[in-house]
Amino acid sequence: MAELANCLQCGKVFVKQLKDICRNCYKEEEVAFKKVYEFLKQQKNREATLYEVVEATGVEETLITKFIKEKRLRTSMFPKLGFPCERCGTLIVSGKLCMNCSVELKNDLQQLESIEKIAERNKEVKTNHGIYYTLDKHRR
């Protein structure tokens, strides 16, 4: 059965099949993908970063990020490719946050009930680089 949906890219109503975007946007995306892939395929560009690819191909960062998340661009082939963690900017290849930030965020959530503790902990993290403190918490 045909299901109607709004295209995630342009918002137009279309018949949803396998994709979340309409035919037009899909076509545009394919063109963009080819451009990016052609660029990266060249030996000298194998180690290009996300930003270098954006600059060289004119394809949007968000789109390239999407290709990485979909694993169409494999970071095993293009080792420098990745997108920044939403919190600290470290390059990652999946999810939204790097390992460190997800751990920290989880810890922060656990301690939300005591704001003072967090402030104290932050002080301590600065002095001990957080290593001992983080380990202690898990040991409990």
Residues of this chain that bind Zn ion (CB under 5 A):
7, 9-10, 22, 25, 85, 87-88, 90, 98, 101
Nearer residue to Zn ion within complex by CB, 17 or 90: 90
Task: Report yes or no: 82 and 92 within 8 Å, Cβ to Cβ.
Answer: yes
Task: Report yes or no: 39 and 48 within 8 Å, Cβ to Cβ.
Answer: yes
Nearer residue to Zn ion within complex by CB, 59 or 101: 101
Question: Residue 85 CB, nearest distance to Zn ion (Å)?
Answer: 3
Task: Report yes or no: 68 and 93 within 8 Å, Cβ to Cβ.
Answer: yes
Burial 18-27 (b: 16+ CB within 10 A, else e): eeebbeebbe
Q: What is the sign, positive or negative, of the torsion defined by CA atoms of 49, 101, 123, 132?
A: negative
Nearer residue to Zn ion within complex by CB, 45 or 102: 102
Question: Residue 43 CB, nearest distance to Zn ion (Å)?
Answer: 31
Nearer residue to Zn ion within complex by CB, 32 or 40: 32
Question: Residue 31 CB, nearest distance to Zn ion (Å)?
Answer: 14
Question: Residue 94 CB, nearest distance to Zn ion (Å)?
Answer: 13
